[in-house]
Amino acid sequence: MTAMRRFEAHGILITGAARGIGAATARRLAQEGAHVLVTDVDLGEAEKTASSIRELGGSAEAFICDVADRTSVEAAVAHAVHAFGSLDVLVNNAYGCTPDAPLFEDEPDEVWARDLDLTLTGAYRCSRAALAHLVASGRGAIVNIGSVNGLQDFGNHAYSAAKAGLMSLTRTLAGHAAERGVRVNLVAPGTVRTTAWEGREADLEALRELYPLGRVGEPDDIAAAVAFLASRDAAWITGTTLCVDGGLLSVNARFRRENRQDSGV
């Protein structure tokens, strides 16, 4: 079957794209015809991802981008526009997530500030730098990568607050950008098997039982949702949060199993 080519000649910038969800998204969008700028603070790993895309016949470049630095963000956006001729899609994927202190009152200010800066303010910086170019493209779209943590308590105070803030920014920016022809949406993943879980396979296996669809997510699951929201297939969708979570937020799988056992069903 021939792959869809919904992003033929589109210029796309993805942050935090060296690994995991960002890398999978870069591969998916390049497969559909996009020119992808793979940005990350780890330029070496970003180049590996870009190189793997080119080996498969796709169009990709690597570029260093620290979303905590306005100059770095603006340089990445300018490079994408120069290299590809336009910037049509921005995917805000970079984030920070620091493990919680055992007691909330022991959380350092620096941890809170860093996670919010990378996860929420970083997306703000990138969107601000990109917006005029997305307007000029005539088909601009922003897809933010959120989390179920922004909707329900799964721990990580700063990260969760930042992801909830990113959902709010998605709505307010969607309202602002709609009359300028730019759509803004958010994908909220559940647990996804990325390099962040390396060495913790037993934890992933335990989490699998909490998901109604019987497994944790894969980066390609999220990439597929991003591709939909970034494409013209979602031309009448803006300001929305799309949960890609295996049913986690809608069904309490463990409770249902236990209730069946207790009731003899």
**Selected catalytic residue, list 95, 124, 159, 211:** 159
Cα 189 to the center of its chain, rounded Å: 8
Q: Give the position of tokens 């500030």.
A: 113
One-letter amino acid identity for 160?
S
How far is it, in rounded angstroms, from Cα 231 to Cα 29? 10
> Residue 178: left (phi > 0), alpha (psi -120 to 50), or beta?
alpha
Q: Extract the runs of DSSP E, i.e. beta strands, from the chain.
A: 11-14, 35-40, 59-64, 89-92, 141-145, 183-189, 241-244
Q: Is 159 a catalytic residue?
A: yes
Residues annotated as part of the active site: 159
